[in-house]
Structures are given as C-alpha cells and as structure tokens.
Structure 1
Amino acid sequence: MMRLAAIKASLRGPNALPLRPAEQVMDLERLGAMHQSRLSFMRTLVRRIMLERWQVNIARQELCAEGYGTLIYEINTPQGLFSFVIFSNYLSPEERNDRVIASKWDLTMALVEGRIEDEYLAFLRQNVPLQEAGRVDSRVFVLSRANRSARNFDYVVAQLSKGEQPDVARIAEVGYLYRTTAVYGSGKLGMADWDKVCSRFPDFARPFAAEMFACFMLRNFSLLQVEHIARQRDPQQFTPMKLELKRYFGIGNSTGLGMAPYLINHPILINRWIEMRELALAQVRALGHIDEGVRWRLGELLGRCSQHIAETVTEDAWQSNNNRRVIEDLAKLREQAGVGLESWNDLLAWSEQHCSLQGQELLVSVMLELYPQLVDGLDEYYCAEEFLDLDPLMPLQQLKAVIEQRYAWTLKIDFSDPKNRDIFWYRSEDKMEPRLGKCELDDGREKQMALGVGYAVFRCYQLLCQYIEEFPEHTTARFMVARPKLRGIVRRIQSMNRCVYGDIQANLLAHDILPMHLLRCKLSFFGVSKFDPRSRLWVRNTMYQGAPLLEDIGKTYNDDWFMPLAPTVGGND
C-alpha cells in the first residue's frame, strides 16, 4: 500500500490536478463507453504469466483424430501447481446453442488445484460436462464451456490439412475458433469460494484472475486442436499455422444480463477499480514536457485504434454508428495532437468538447498505454474489503447532507413519473439468470432484485426528511429503530461516502435504461474488444486477440497487444 499512498500524496497540493469528479466518471453512459487498457484483467494476467515465466505443459493428451477426448495441462507458477482439464465431445449442429438454457457443448473445462489423479479425473468427467447440472468440490476454481465457431473452425482445419494458411480477411470477420458462453467461479456449484482463492493462492488472488486464465487456456487449446485434427486428416499435406495468425485468434464471448448485477452488488470493489484507473490517468495528466518519442507513439496508437475499430464487424446499427463516430474522433485527435500538444490535460479537455464519450474514454486508454511505468502495478490494489458498515452515531443532519452531496443525482429524478419506475429486475426460476420485466406488462414485481439503488436512496431521503422534522437531534441509530427496513440502504449510503467514486449514477428502473452500458463497463475491465451487440440485452465480443501464445513464454515480452490489427502474413516463421 506504500506505493498507492505515495501516488495519492503526489496528487495533492495547490498545483496538483484533481481526479475527475464522480458525477462525470460514474455516469452510466460514460462507464459504458470505456475501453480495454493496460489495467484490464487480461492484460495484467498475461503480463504476470510472461514476466514470471509460468511453465505450462501437457500432462495428458487423449484426443482422437477428430479432436474428441481429454486433455490436461499442468501449470507450474511461482506459488503452486495447477491443472486445466478439457473434455471435448461431439456436438451435433442441432444441439449447438449459445444460450444459457443449453445443456451440451463442444468443450467443457475446469481449472483445478494440484495434479489430477485418475480417480479425480473420473470424478471430473462425471460432473464437468454437466456444468450447472453437476457438482464439483473446492479443488476446482473455475468451470466453463465453449462452442466452436461455425464460420471458422472447420474452415481453418480444412486449410491447414491441405497445406494452406487461413485467409486473414475471413479471420478478421470472426476472430476466434471457440466462444465461451459462461465462466463460473467464486463458490458456485461447489467450487472454491473467493476467500479461499485469495488467501491461499496468490497467483489468482486478484478479481477474476482464475476466470481470465481459463479463457486464456481455452484459446491456446483451440489452436492446438485445429492443428491436431488437420494433421490427422492429412499428415503429408498438413502445414502448421503461422504464429502471427495464431496470435490473431482470440476467444469469442457472449455476455448477457448475468453480468449486470455484479456492478451494483459490489459497489466498493467497482469503486476501487475505477479509482485505480483514475489515479493512473491523473498521474499522466500531471506530467510536464511531452517528448517527440511520446508524440510519435501517440499518433501510432491513435492510428492503430482507428484501424482496429474499422476491422470490427457488427450488424448492429447502434454499434456501427458508435464505431464510425469513434473513428472520426480519432482522426480529430491525431490532427489536434499534431498541431501542438502542450499537455495531456489540454488534450483531454479538448476531447471532452469535441469528441463522443467513446472517443474521450478511448483517449484515456491510449494515454495509459503510453506510460507503463506509471500504470503497471496499480492492479495490485484491485482487491477491497467489501463491508458496508452502519455508523449508528452519525447525526441525522449529517446523513441528510451526505445524501444531498453524494447522491444528488437521485434527488433530480422524478420517481412519480411511471416511466422512471417502469422496469424491474428478477431472476428466472429455470437458470437463475437475471431478466428484465416491465411493471405494466409482467407479473413478478414482488420478487424483483434490489438493483434500484437510486430509488431506494430517494425513498430513504423522503422518509429521513419527515423524521428529521420531528426529531432533528436524533442519530442514525434512532432512525433505524423507527425504520428498520431502511438499514440496508443507509449502510450503503454511509459506506459509499467513504469512497472516492461510489455508486454508478443511473436509475436502473427507468423505461429507457440500456443494460448494454453495464455490460460494456465490466467487459472493459476484463479487457475484451470488438463489441457486437445482438440486442440491447447481450453482446458478443472477443478476448485475448493479439495476446502472446504459450510458446511465447520465456521469450522477450514487450506487452504491446493493445487494439490488435489483422496481420500481414508473409513467409514462414
């Protein structure tokens, strides 16, 4: 924590630049405009793997000519030994389904503590392919499943089996061989809970590190499997895939509403993630002279971002319009930077006047990319104690002032308007997945999830003001005795007042709420790219495109796979 304290101290004083204000940063539309960065979980995990030189070896490979069977990787890290087991089974086209209601998949996987013995493998083989219908034990950290890309998998196998490389333009349309439809961890289905993982296994003691590692291993297995099948199909003609093509393949991901409640239910953790990103940005903004090398690198990265977005394929009109606007923003930013870049603070302020929110936040990611010495390592502070404490001695006048200052956005919403209380969130009984209901059309409002923080604060404020009129000198404890059902929201208000950024500033009950912003926010912290919304409720994206391969471990690593571009395939590696 010493480095964090030093950073915060350096940003104080009369000449220091302040952090961006909460009312700006925590606006939902801006959070939904964020992009991957050096602090994204995939980037920080791969950086650790490469710099610590994790040893990943195949301990068991039992795959038939068509790639079905079992494969086990053993992973030796500086802190322990782990196994990643994959079960590959035949899946007919009519059974292939990416929705959460699916019960069969091309691949099922588990990340496991220690070495897998035959008896334990039999146990995993009975349960892992069942996913939610099975049960595992606390040796398991992560369960996941994935389906083949109908457009890429068989095509890549066919190309390699006849001695040819896949067409780059075709890969660019769908940059993966598999897409995962769920990655489970943190105590679900009998797995190790987060307390065990973070206290006993330092290699994965950061948010979603184990889940991100499972996706990283899936990506590497997908490349192994297509080469295995192609080699078996025609050993004489077979040609391995070129490394630059391999690196361009990522893992597809489908993300729906299941991810959205996390951002509301873990406010202290989300505050910490945002705070680290903003601290990194503040350090960059505080820099003085910008040398020519950095100016050149800025132009190169802005151009790379523009091309990366141009290579993103989506049929969604909203996303297509966003992409066009960001490309225009990037062109204007390159021009503005070329005119004469005096300071990062000036460029950021200029972007806020002339660029879309997505363009502004992409500039933030680029600025962080330019200064790894300031940014790298802040991910060490991503964990946070998630206790919402009640302060019973707080005077009610102070509690009222906290709401008026920190939750002013809730007091501006007209909750008497039915449109602002039109939506309720609930969990489906069949898969326990979040869904959206409309109050006028759907039953079940009495079973809604407690995600309407804005309305809860507004209602608390109304009742608090009424109580203060009669008892102005009382403390929070007396108010809680009179209104015990408000204990949860008061605890949240008091706790978030101790945070820099606090709650997401959005009314999740409004008729025009766009859950896509919640999904995009969390996915940006994961580090995904190439968003392709399939509706306002779920989105496809790509993970680990451009990332190093297992065979790159031990080589020189420069950590430069931000916004990867389609490769130009030349001669042999």
Structure 2
Amino acid sequence: MDPARLGSLHQTRLSFARSLIRQMARERWHVACAEFDLDAQGCGRAIYTVDTPEDRFSFVIFSQNLDESQRSDRVIAEQWDVACALCTAPLDDVMLAELAENVPRQEAGRCSSRVLVLTRGNRSQRNFEQVTEALARGEQPDPVWFQKVGYLYRTTAVYGNGKFGIADYDYVRRWRLFDRPFSPQMLAVYLLRHFSIEQVEHMARARAPRTAVPMQRDLARYIGMGNSTGLGMAPFLVNHPQLINQWVLMRETALARVRTFGTASPERIQRLRTLTARARQHMTEWWTDDAAQQAANDRTIADLDDLKAWLDGGTPTPQDLWQRLVQRAGSHYGLQGQELVNSLLLELHPELVDDLEDSMGTDERSDLEPGMSLRTLVAWLESSYDWALAVDFEHPDASYYFWYRSEEKEEPRLGERYVEPGADREMPLGIARDVRRCYDACQALLAEDAQTTVLDLVLQRRDLRGIVRRIQTLAPLAYGEIRGNLLARDCRPIHLLRCKLSFFGASKFDPRSDRWVRITLFQGAPLLDEMDASDDPDWFLPVAPPAS
C-alpha cells in the first residue's frame, strides 16, 4: 500500500466499469431512447429507459448551452452543460417536474429516494465544436482529437449513496444488479457517454441537414467519458479502509491465482503478444502535459519493448512463464510498467478472475475491544504500523499540511500548517501522526503498569478512542492502510486519486497538479447496440481507429 505504487495502478478486469459492461452484455440489458427533445443547440431533455432482468430504470438528462465564461469543472460551479439523474421507473409528470426543478441545481436541490445517482458534466468545448462541424460537413472527425482528449463530455461529480436526499447505499443494494460497489454510478456515466454521441450527431444534422453524416462506429466507440477529480476523492481511501482492503485483496487474489494456476498455453502467449502491442500503441496515444506522468509513460513504453523482446527471445518456459514475467517486471520495469504487466496477466485468465467481481464489496464495521492488553496493542502497532512509527514528527515537514473542508462546498482541501489559518478545524486524516500519539501513550501507561489494558488507555485518553478502534480493526488486514504520511510536505494526493480511479476503470490519467487529475472512462467500450455481440467484450487498452 505504498502511495507511489497505488499511484501507478491501471484498470483491470475487476474494475467497476469493466464489470458493468460484462454484466450488461451477459444479461442482455436493453437501453432505449424514450425521449430526445433537443433544439438545434442541443438544449432540452432526453430520457433513456434501461430494462434489466430485475427492473426498469430511467436516465434523465437536462441539457443547456453554457457560455464559456460559466463553464467550470470546479466544485464551486453552479451551472453545467448537462445535469442528469438515474431513477427508478416509471416517470410520471409529477416526478419529471420534480427532477426538472432539482436535478439542474445539483447540491442546491433536493431529490427523492427514487433518484439513485445524480451527476453533471461539461462539454470539452474544442472537441465538441470540432466534431459537430466535421459531421455537419459530411466528414469524419480526426481520431487524433480523441487521442489528445478522449471524450466529448467530462463529469465533474457523480453522486450516490444518499447525497442530497437521493437513495442511500442500503436502499440501492436491494437490487442484485447494483450490489457491486459504484455499479449505478458507472451506469450513469456510461449512459451519459452514449448521450454525448447522439447529441453531437443531432446538432450536426440541425446545422446542415443535407450534408451531415453520423459518426463512424469505430470512432464512436473510441469516444469515452471524461472526468475531473480533485481532493474531494482522496479522503475516501482513508475513511473506508475495509472497503479499500477488499478491493486490493481481490486484485491480489486474482494475481495470485494467475501466477499459481494460470497455464501459459501457446494461445495465451500469443494473446499476451497481441495485448503487449496494443498496450504500447495505447501508451503512445496517452497525452499529458504533466512532466512526471510523461516520464512514467516513456519508461512504460520502453518496458513494453523489453517485454516484447523477452517474449520473442524464446528463453522463458511455459511452465513458469507468468511467474518469471512478474519477477522480471519487478527487477527491470518502473512502477507503472510493473502494474501494467499485472493488468495484462489478468486479461489472460478470465476464468480465474471474473468470479471475484462479486466479492468487491464488504460490510464496514469497527468495534473497540477494551479488554485487549496494551502489550498486544503495542505489538500490533510495531508490526502493522511500523511505517507510521518510522516518521519523525519532531520535524516540521512531517506535519506540513492539514486537511480541512471548505466553507463554500464543504469539499476537502489542503492547507499549509505554518502559513495558513484553519488547522484547528483539521480533518482526521493524519493516521501516521495519530498512531505515533497512541504508541507513545501506550508506552507511558505500560511503564506504570505492565498489565494495563486498552480500557485503561481510552479512559485516560478519550482523544485516542478513534485511532485505537481503527488499529484494532485494521491491523489484521493486509491492505487497509495507505502506508504514507498524508500530512508530509512531500505528500502527493494524486496517488490516492489514481488508486481509486483505477478501480473505477479509468485510463489516460492526466494530472493537472498534485491535487487534481483528468481521466477517461469507457473509451473503447461497446456501443449500446453492440452489447449482444459478446458476453466478454474486448475493449481493454483501446487504440485510435485509422483516419478515414
């Protein structure tokens, strides 16, 4: 759980977007457009119905055309090009009026529990206008546009789990098809991606009815959905450690299965060669202005060249090929290259991996065990939290930052402790510092009484109850804690963002700073009318189609 490694993860077969597409294909979900009432500028309302084996849902989109000066990805924005809701069906006039009143207002509105997901997005204005104009002229857009920016829209928030009056997690889980983490949120994003393609084609036809053409399917498939994510996502990994442990545990279980039971048959070796070539092309189409990310990408391309040469060299033996590949990556490749190899290996063995997607969730609960001896607690600290005890909190750089919530939107922010006011309102994300305080308090009590218990500690130090409960809950878990000091001057929150987004199924991470990133979801995913072509669509590491 080293932050730098977490910040090098890629999507895998277990990522939520990938799982959703397989589920939709396998169960033959049917999505239909029930209403598409847009004017020539793309403004109006669209409604899609989603029929599943279990129930029917509706996805309602309210679209407007913002002035460029009003378009902002920041959380403090109050208007967006589209605002959307995934709801239970059917929708009557009263429900539609309620949605029209509240969905475009997002945080300022108040929706009912019939709304499962609330989201909004902005156009990638350059791409959107270029694509509209090209289609209106009867031409296909240049695929290079979508190498640089792989979408027409990017979401700026996707809300679920009881936010602003919408259905809470327990309510949503009553549907089996939404039992996996973030499944309804991924569905909303996928449907918005489909709308973006239909909307731009509609606007092209309105602009030039005689010459406009639809987008070629391979190009439409290459369009994803963008997302801008900032610090608001980072605390999730600290506040839901049991869930993060489960995600990583299932991923590591899948890798262990592949390395132990996977057979490197000639067909799978050829499949690995194909995926390696595709991965290299994908990496060359990954555009970023961030110097560190570009350096990592360049290193990964070199790693993939080495992988190809190694596979073509004929030295590995099929009996232990996967194990030897992992060992070679660990000793020769950069972190991003190592993690890409792991993702490639999981692609080769769906029969060993895919059943784990049903175990990505967990019931989160933490209990205080007051009868535990303080000696046992100290032993757990020294074995499971040695990384935290190694931090020198006497040095000011170890506590350089503090996390707080902004007054405007109550979104997490980072403040400089010795420069800015507000440390008195600090969020409890300094786990390493709290561990050190707990450890020192334990040692002081044990010096007085070697038989003392956790109860004695928390009675004297009520401020330590939370961290003691956390330690007792997470010490037995291998992947519950991020092994880094989130208050340190060299802390890079971008690592936490990429970790969570990789489990969502994101690709083409484009850091805009250490504190926010743009990504692409569902690029290369099947279009809605292609869902019945295969139960396991092959869209991992998409590459641009040739220019027409």
Cα separation, 2, equivalents of 1:497 and 1:105? 43
Q: Which residue of 2 aligns with 1:5?
A: none
Q: Which residue of 1 aligns with 2:345?
A: 367
Give, in angstroms, the shift of residue 288 of structure 1: 6.2
2:41 aligns with one of 50, 62, 66? 66
Match of 1:97, SS state, is coil
Question: Superposition pairs for residues 500-515 of structure 1, below 5 Å?
Answer: 500-515=478-493
CA contact (8 A) 2:509 2:518 kept: yes
Q: Which residue of 1 aligns with 2:301?
A: 327
Cα separation, 2, equivalents of 1:289 and 1:231? 52
Q: Which residue of 2 aligns with 1:442?
A: 420
Alignment-mate amino acid for residue 130 of structure 2: Y
Question: Superposition pairs for residues 296-375 of structure 1, below 5 Å?
Answer: 296-339=270-313, 340-342=315-317, 343=320, 344-375=322-353
Q: Which residue of 1 aligns with 2:251?
A: 277
Alignment of 1:232 onto 2:206 = yes
Q: Which residue of 2 aligns with 1:168?
A: 143
Cα separation, 2, equivalents of 1:97 and 1:289? 50
Cα separation, 2, equivalents of 1:37 and 1:554? 22
Q: Deviations over 1:196-222 (max 9, x none)?
A: 111x22221211111111110000000
Q: Which residue of 2 aligns with 1:214?
A: 188
TM-score by length of 1: 0.93
Cα separation, 1, equivalents of 2:436 and 2:281? 45
Alignment of 1:35 onto 2:31 = no
Alignment-mate amino acid for residue 367 of structure 2: D
Alignment of 1:77 onto 2:52 = yes
Give, in angstroms, the shift of residue 562 of structure 1: 0.6
Match of 2:126, SS state, is coil
Question: Superposition pairs for residues 141-160 of structure 1, below 5 Å?
Answer: 141-160=116-135
Give, in angstroms, the shift of residue 136 of structure 1: 0.7
Q: Which residue of 2 aligns with 1:243?
A: 217
Alignment-mate amino acid for residue 4 of structure 2: E
Q: Which residue of 1 aligns with 2:440?
A: 462
Match of 2:210, SS state, is coil
RMSD of aligned Cα (Å): 1.2
Give, in angstroms, the shift of residue 446 of structure 1: 0.8
Q: Deviations over 1:248-294 (max 9, x none)?
A: 00011101001000000000000000000000000011136522211
CA contact (8 A) 1:187 1:193 kept: yes
561-570 or 501-510, larger mean C-alpha shift: 561-570
444-453 or 164-173, larger mean C-alpha shift: 164-173
Cα separation, 2, equivalents of 1:316 and 1:480? 46
Alignment-mate amino acid for residue 328 of structure 2: W
Give, in angstroms, the shift of residue 555 of structure 1: 2.4
Cα separation, 1, equivalents of 2:443 and 2:221? 59
Match of 2:155, SS state, is strand
50-59 or 264-273, larger mean C-alpha shift: 50-59
Cα separation, 2, equivalents of 1:214 and 1:418? 44
Residues 288 and 557 (structure 1), Cα distance of their counterparts in 2 relative to 1, 3 Å cut: closer
Q: Which residue of 1 aligns with 2:264?
A: 290
353-362 or 269-278, larger mean C-alpha shift: 353-362
Match of 1:300, SS state, is helix
CA contact (8 A) 2:445 2:452 kept: no
Alignment of 1:473 onto 2:451 = yes
481-490 or 503-512, larger mean C-alpha shift: 481-490
Q: Deviations over 1:143-162 (max 9, x none)?
A: 11111111111111111122
CA contact (8 A) 1:531 1:542 kept: yes
Q: Deviations over 1:37-63 (max 9, x none)?
A: 101010001110111111111122211
Pairs aligned (count): 544
Q: Which residue of 2 aligns with 1:20?
A: none
Give, in angstroms, the shift of residue 190 of structure 1: 0.7
Cα separation, 2, equivalents of 1:117 and 1:528? 35
Q: Deviations over 1:417-436 (max 9, x none)?
A: 11111110001000111110
Cα separation, 2, equivalents of 1:159 and 1:476? 69
Q: Which residue of 2 aligns with 1:46?
A: 21
Q: Deviations over 1:97-152 (max 9, x none)?
A: 11111111111000111211111101110111111111111111111111111111
Give, in angstroms, the shift of residue 532 of structure 1: 1.0
Alignment of 1:93 onto 2:68 = yes
CA contact (8 A) 1:396 1:473 kept: yes
Q: Which residue of 2 aligns with 1:260?
A: 234
Residues 302 and 202 (structure 1), Cα distance of their counterparts in 2 relative to 1, 3 Å cut: same
Question: Superposition pairs for residues 418-433 of structure 1, below 5 Å?
Answer: 418-433=396-411
1:414 aligns with one of 363, 368, 392? 392
Q: Which residue of 2 aligns with 1:453?
A: 431
Match of 1:377, SS state, is helix
Give, in angstroms, the shift of residue 389 of structure 1: 1.3
TM-score by length of 2: 0.97
CA contact (8 A) 1:252 1:540 kept: yes
Match of 1:136, SS state, is coil
Cα separation, 1, equivalents of 2:172 and 2:110? 18
1:402 aligns with one of 380, 384, 388? 380
Residues 296 and 60 (structure 1), Cα distance of their counterparts in 2 relative to 1, 3 Å cut: same
